[in-house]
């Protein structure tokens, strides 16, 4: 295996070995604490423009299974301690290296992912480059910014998913660049689902005839889609609205709150979120670098807080308008939307 380097914008160099696509790539360096589910991580559009460091030491041991894909790969690069080039699983179709090559994603293995994670936790999220030669000038790396993330991952046109047989009700989905599982689940439950692009107008959403709107997760900085927040503000009281992830942040913007960028973000499937006013803590899946500044809220009640850093992770504006920073379990979210519809 040929040598490859992960170079952080502060000049720190990690030497490892190349796999995946034969190219260099710059991205925002984040770490994910997921132990399993690397297929879902790799195909999650929410990682648009990012280089993912997996904290679990081995990836790829059960190979790649295309039926487990949740979207189109959007990450810039992949960093692991070790990858398994001989996966063992009866569902396996091919290996991790082949997947990365097929999707033009460079990767590096053989580096100390625990040290990289410690650096991000101490210094905060920073940019990095995966490369075959150490660059003499890191200006371009330091200046890299993720732009047009939602624009590039959201649905490009309106799509309707209709079940066979009787239709229980209509549900609208405002796609900010999320996986497609929820639409399929709702359709399987007998609901007609209309998926709309992120820049849809309020009147377009109401024209679907849906009784409930789901504002999805997605990548990037919510400050890029303030027009979406403006349109959501027009819908208050006219339709039930539920948001998750980026949808939670944009809904808060629609109600006058500010958004802040976190020191190192929350990425992984084991984030503890406390239900405010109870002794109950949820173990949740999260992937974001931005959060609602609860001190700027003009309306709404905080319902969930992250146990690690106190970040606002749930808001309720009324019995028919609320949101979560984390990703509710698919069955739970389907049940919530179905009840409102």
Q: How many C-beta atoms surround the C-beta of residue 298 within 10 A? A: 8
Residue 331 has pLDDT above 80, yes or no: no
Q: What is the pLDDT of residue 184?
A: 84
**For residues 3 and 196, what is the distance between their CA atoms, to the nearest angstrom?**
44
Q: Which residues contact 44 (CB under 8 A, 6 or more apart)?
A: 70, 71, 74, 179, 287
Q: What is the pLDDT of residue 60?
A: 97
Q: Do 225 and 99 reside in the same domain of the chain?
A: no
Q: Do 318 and 170 reside in the same domain of the chain?
A: yes
Last residue of a domain, one of 84, 111, 146: 146
Angle at the Cα of 28 from the Cα atoms of 25 and 33, rounded to 5 degrees:
110
- What HEC string does 248-272 produce? HHHHHHHCCCEEEEEEEEEEEEEEE
Quick one: average pLDDT of 232-244? 96
Q: Do 107 and 183 reside in the same domain of the chain?
A: no
Element (H, E) at 306: strand 301-306
Q: Do 330 and 213 reside in the same domain of the chain?
A: yes
Q: Do 332 and 207 reside in the same domain of the chain?
A: yes
Q: Do 103 and 176 reside in the same domain of the chain?
A: no
Last residue of a domain, one of 125, 146, 167: 146
Contact 25, 51 (CB under 8 A): yes
**For residues 71 and 333, what is the distance between their CA atoms, to the nearest angstrom?**
18
**For residue 159, how many C-alpha atoms fall within 13 Å in the half-sphere facing its CB?**
15
Backbone angles phi, psi at 231, to 5 degrees: -70, -40
Q: What is the pLDDT of residue 335?
A: 82
Residue 180 has pLDDT above 80, yes or no: no
**Is residue 311 very low, low, confident or very high in pLDDT (cuts 50, 70, 90)?**
very high
Q: Which residues contact 277 (CB under 8 A, 6 or more apart)?
A: none
Residue 165 belongs to domain spanning: 150-340
Q: Which of 45, 50, 40, 42 is nearest to 98 (CA)?
A: 42
CATH code of the domain covering residue 262: 3.40.50.880
Q: What is the pLDDT of residue 287?
A: 87
**Is residue 333 very low, low, confident or very high in pLDDT (cuts 50, 70, 90)?**
confident
Q: Do 184 and 118 reside in the same domain of the chain?
A: no
CATH code of the domain covering residue 66: 3.50.30.20
Q: Do 32 and 94 reside in the same domain of the chain?
A: yes
Structural domains of the chain, count = 2
**Is residue 4 very low, low, confident or very high in pLDDT (cuts 50, 70, 90)?**
very high
Longest pairwise C-alpha distance within the chain? 64
Last residue of a domain, one of 146, 176, 199: 146
Quick one: average pLDDT of 78-92? 96
Q: Do 89 and 212 reside in the same domain of the chain?
A: no
Q: Do 230 and 218 reside in the same domain of the chain?
A: yes
Q: Do 229 and 323 reside in the same domain of the chain?
A: yes
Q: What pTM, to 2 d.p., does this model score?
A: 0.93
**Is residue 272 very low, low, confident or very high in pLDDT (cuts 50, 70, 90)?**
very high
Structural tokens at position 119? 């650096």
3-state secondary structure of 42: helix
**For residues 198 and 96, what is the distance between their CA atoms, to the nearest angstrom?**
32
* CA 253 to each of CA 19, 79, 286, 298, 306: distance values in angstroms, whole numbers, following the listed order: 41, 34, 19, 10, 20
Query: Reduced to 3 DSSP states, what percent helix, strand and coil does the chain have, rounded to the nearest 5?
Result: 25, 35, 40
**Is residue 88 very low, low, confident or very high in pLDDT (cuts 50, 70, 90)?**
very high
Q: Do 133 and 43 reside in the same domain of the chain?
A: yes
Give the model confidence (pLDDT) of 157-173 as tens digits.
999 999 888 899 999 99
Mean pLDDT of the chain: 94
Give the model confidence (pLDDT) of 105-146 as tens digits.
999 999 999 999 999 999 999 999 999 999 999 999 999 999
């Amino acid at each position: 295996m040929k040598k490859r380097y992960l170079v952080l914008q502060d000049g720190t160099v990690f030497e490892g070995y190349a796999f995946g696509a034969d190219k260099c790539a710059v991205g925002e360096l984040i770490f994910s604490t997921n132990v399993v589910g690397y297929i879902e991580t790799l195909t999650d559009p929410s990682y648009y423009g990012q280089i993912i460091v997996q904290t679990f030491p081995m990836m790829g041991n059960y190979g790649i299974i295309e039926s487990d894909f949740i979207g189109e790969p959007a990450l810039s690069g992949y960093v692991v301690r070790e990858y398994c080039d001989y996966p063992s699983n009866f569902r396996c179709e091919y290996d991790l290296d082949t997947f990365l090559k097929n999707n033009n994603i460079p990767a590096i293995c053989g580096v100390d992912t625990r040290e990289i994670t410690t650096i991000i936790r101490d210094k905060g999220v920073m940019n990095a480059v995966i490369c075959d030669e150490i660059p003499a000038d890191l200006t371009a790396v330091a200046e890299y910014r993720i732009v047009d993330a939602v624009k590039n991952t959201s649905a490009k046109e309106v799509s309707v998913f209709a079940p066979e047989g009787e239709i229980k009700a209509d549900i609208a989905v405002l796609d900010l660049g999320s996986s497609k599982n929820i639409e399929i689940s709702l359709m399987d439950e007998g609901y007609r689902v209309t998926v709309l692009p992120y820049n849809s107008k309020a009147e377009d959403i109401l024209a679907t005839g849906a009784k409930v709107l789901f504002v999805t997760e997605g990548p990037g900085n919510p400050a890029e889609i303030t027009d979406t927040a403006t349109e959501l503000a027009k819908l208050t009281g006219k339709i039930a609205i539920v948001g998750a992830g980026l949808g939670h942040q944009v809904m808060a913007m629609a109600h006058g709150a500010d958004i802040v960028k976190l020191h190192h973000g929350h990425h992984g499937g084991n984030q503890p979120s406390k239900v405010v006013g109870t002794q109950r803590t949820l173990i949740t899946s999260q992937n974001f670098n931005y959060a609602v500044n609860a001190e700027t809220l003009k309306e709404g009640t905080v319902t969930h807080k992250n146990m690690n850093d106190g970040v606002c992770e749930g808001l309720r504006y009324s019995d028919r308008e609320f949101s979560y920073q984390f990703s509710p379990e698919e069955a739970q979210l389907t049940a919530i939307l179905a009840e409102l519809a």
